[in-house]
Amino acid sequence: MPGLINQHNRDYYGGGLMMLLGVAAAIQGARYQIGTLSRMGPGFFPMALGVILALIGLAIAVNARRAVPAGEEKQLPPEWRGWIAIVLSLVAFVVLGIYGGLLPASFAVVFIAALGDRQNSVKAAFFLALAIAAVAVVVFWWALQVQFPLFNWG
């Protein structure tokens, strides 16, 4: 029972802390000239972020009331397959980025990470990786002209 109360208290305290920080940022931002949407002053951005942070904190605190108590949730074992696939995909991206180029690296990162999901088949992971690799080539290599070779053998 004490763990149940602590979980809800954590949500309330976390939401309250976010609200407090958001209000403090909004008050500090209000000390500067705020300006308008078309001519933003130096206080506009901290004021806007403070208000957004306070609203998110309020949503967390309100949502803590509707949360399912931790004692009623079924604890699932960690998804080691997903963790391992994500870590391996990042390693593959670095290695293939250096020795293979953008296309093989972007294909490998998506393919390996997609295999971490138990519901994905190899065929689905292949086509997803193929599509994302095409998007990566269009966006990063062609449109943004990032200095990352498409293919790099060696």
The pLDDT tens digits along the chain (154 residues) read 444 445 667 888 888 999 999 999 999 989 999 888 888 889 899 999 999 999 999 998 888 877 666 555 677 788 899 999 999 999 999 999 999 999 999 999 999 999 999 999 999 999 999 999 999 999 999 999 888 899 988 6
The DSSP element (H or E) to which 64 belongs, if any, is helix 44-66
In the beta sheet, which residues pair with residue 35? Answer: 40
How far apart, in whole angstroms, are the C-alpha atoms of residue 54 and residue 119?
A: 38
Q: Give first-to-last CA distance, the chain, whole Å.
A: 60
Query: Does pTM top 0.85 for this prediction?
Result: no
What's the pLDDT at 8?
63
DSSP code of residue 69: P
For 84, the token pair is 């391992």
- State the CB neighbour count (10 A cutoff) for residue 20: 13
